[in-house]
A and B are shown apart, each in its own frame.
Chain A
Amino acid sequence: MSPIISRGFRGRRDDAPSDRVPPGQYVTRDFPVLSAGPTPHRPLEQWDFSIVGEVDEPRRWTWEEFRELPSEEVTVDIHCVTKWSKLDTVWQGVSVDTLLDGVESAAEYVVQFCDGGYTANLPVDDVTGGKAWVVFAYDGEPLEPEHGGPARMLVPHLYFWKSAKWVRGLRLSATDEPGFWEVNGYHNYGDPWQQQRYWGD
């Protein structure tokens, strides 16, 4: 049954140039808070970020050490699989290239792991070459807990569930290990420009 149109209903969305908006997406100026679970509240003195798995040796940074790494401001568009897109979002973070600098690994895949247990999987190629950051500030302010603070992943070329909130590290692996949403119906790769939202897309 095709849906009934409700006279005058528009919903809350903005107009935007179509070449910046992937198919099936709507632009918002809000920043919707979506979360698979309760917001973790990890004190900074207990926070660390690790590179583990199939690497020559694991790397680990405390918050102070992490904040001493070179970081950069990036402005990107982000696209959530629930159909909202937000343009020109401004973040401050450490490039994953910086974190993997000097790490020897033959691994082709990486899993993001987080406080609260969330995971997301990616090919290593999709987090290197200037495509991904561990960000700690949004719009000039420290990243709020509800948006993933103290630090989250930013991988803007894929749907935003591939940018894990409350990230605590990356595990490099020879095999692909589908993460939280990938085992539960969402697409294993998630390219918004090809509308790879669900299994079989």
Chain B
Amino acid sequence: MTWRVAEVVNVVPQTPRVKTIAFDVFGWPGHRAGQHVDVRLTAEDGYEAQRGYSIASVPDGTRVELTVERLEDGEVSPYLTDGLQPGDRIELRGPVGGYFVWEPAQGGPLLLVAGGSGVVPLMAMIRARAAAGSDVDTRLLFSSRSWEDVIYREELERLGGDGLTVVHTLTRSQPPGWAGYDRRVDAEMLAEVGPSPAELPGVYVCGPTPFVEAAAEALVQLGHEPHRVKTERFGPTGG
């Protein structure tokens, strides 16, 4: 598993803090939904920084898309979202991961629980599901700060239906007339969104560590078998 050169194709804003960067990666072997890449940046004097980012896109030749949230005091994310231009080059290692992965052949039902930018690998799963023409019962419970911060908002609206249910909770501010959830994910919300433990869903939880810890604990409390609840934690150190 070696470092590959990745060249920026374009940078597309998604929300005020989030952009999707499309790369062309020579020799890219393809990937599975949920996998990530390690990104390595090297400065002219040799100073180096590495972070992991989930792959957002479905396999498409040498094209790899990463959706990155700019962290206010981040060292790498502001460079990716604001410093990169088409033609710039970074290094990627990957695709990596086999534990936090979903393939259409695995079937469902599926419960996907996303906290903020934790939606990225889950969106890769949703896109893989759509590309395969799957109608497996899939429920996305998606926590965001506000309506403006919902990543992939329009695409999720379009993809809804055909067995895909998208439920939002907006924790800091809500648009006028909002009738949806407005609090942090908890056991009651997870029970309402379902599926129930008896249906033996595959469960994937992704987001910042405190979010994942709270959601995973609630899911186990509800009766979901711990080994069926797969987790991926994002952190300020960029892992």
Residues of A within 8 A of B (CB): 1, 3-13, 26, 30
Contacts A1-B2, A4-B91, A6-B90 given; indicate if A11 touches B49 (C-beta within 8 A). Answer: yes
CB distance from A35 to the nearest CB of B (A): 11
Contact check, A3 vs B48: say whether CB atoms are below 8 A apart: yes
Count of A-B contacts judged by CB separation below 8 Å: 46
Q: Is B136 an interface residue (CB 8 A)?
A: no
A4/B47 in contact, CB under 8 A? no
Report the Cα distance A4→B73, complex, angstroms. Answer: 24
For A5, give its contact among B3, B42, B49, B83 (CB under 8 Å): B42
Pick the contact of B79 from A4, A8, A13 — CB < 8 Å? A8
Given A4-B90, A26-B47, A9 contacting B41 (CB threshold 8 A): yes
CA distance A101 to B5 in the complex (A): 59
Known interface pairs A5-B43, A6-B43. Does A11 touch B75 (Cβ–Cβ under 8 Å)? yes
B153 to chain A, nearest CB (A): 30
B-chain residues with CB within 8 Å of residue A30 when the two chains form the complex? 73
Known: A9-B83, A12-B75. A4 touches B48 (CB 8 A): no
A-contact 0/1 string along B82-117, CB 8 Å cutoff:
010000111100000000000000000000000000
CB closest chain-A residue, reference B83: A8
Query: Which residues on the A side are within 8 Å of B40 (C-beta)?
Result: 3
Chain A contacts for B91, CB-based, 8 A? 3-4, 6
Contact A6 B47 (CB under 8 A): no
The reply on B155 being an interface residue by CB < 8 A is no
Q: Is B44 an interface residue (CB 8 A)?
A: yes
Q: List 18 A-B contacts (CB under 8 A).
A: A1-B2, A1-B3, A3-B40, A3-B42, A3-B48, A3-B91, A4-B42, A4-B89, A4-B90, A4-B91, A6-B88, A7-B89, A8-B83, A9-B49, A10-B47, A11-B43, A11-B47, A12-B73
